[in-house]
Amino acid sequence: MNPQYNYLYTQQQLSSSYSYTPLVPPTSINDFYDVVRIGSGSFAQVYRGYELINQRPIMYREVALKKINVCYS
């Protein structure tokens, strides 16, 4: 897998050339790929995906800061 371009590389057995197949769907957020929303709440949405570099599974939470009231004293 080439995470930089979100493509899977396959080598043909009789040839030294490479072909690529795009991941379906090629969704990515920041440094993560294959991102799927798994939940949401009042202030955040939670996504599941994989790191581009290490290929580890991750959970990604996106917080809506505009909905949070912050009081400064």
43-59 tens-digit pLDDT: 888 888 888 888 889 88
State the burial class of residue 65 (Cβ atoms within 10 Å of its Cβ: 0-12, 13-18, 19+). Answer: exposed
Q: Which residues are annotated as a binding site?
A: 66
Q: Which residues are annotated as a binding site for ATP?
A: 66
3-class state of residue 24 by DSSP:
coil
Q: Give the structural domain span for 46.
A: 24-64
pLDDT bucket at 36, cuts 50 / 70 / 90: confident
> How many domains are contained in the chain?
1
Sort strands 32-40 and 28-29 into parallel, antiparallel or unpaired.
Answer: antiparallel
Average pLDDT over residues 16-31: 56
Domain for residue 34, yes or no? yes
Domain for residue 70, yes or no? no
Domain for residue 58, yes or no? yes
Q: Note whether 52 and 33 are within 8 A (CB).
A: yes
Predicted TM-score of the model (pTM): 0.51
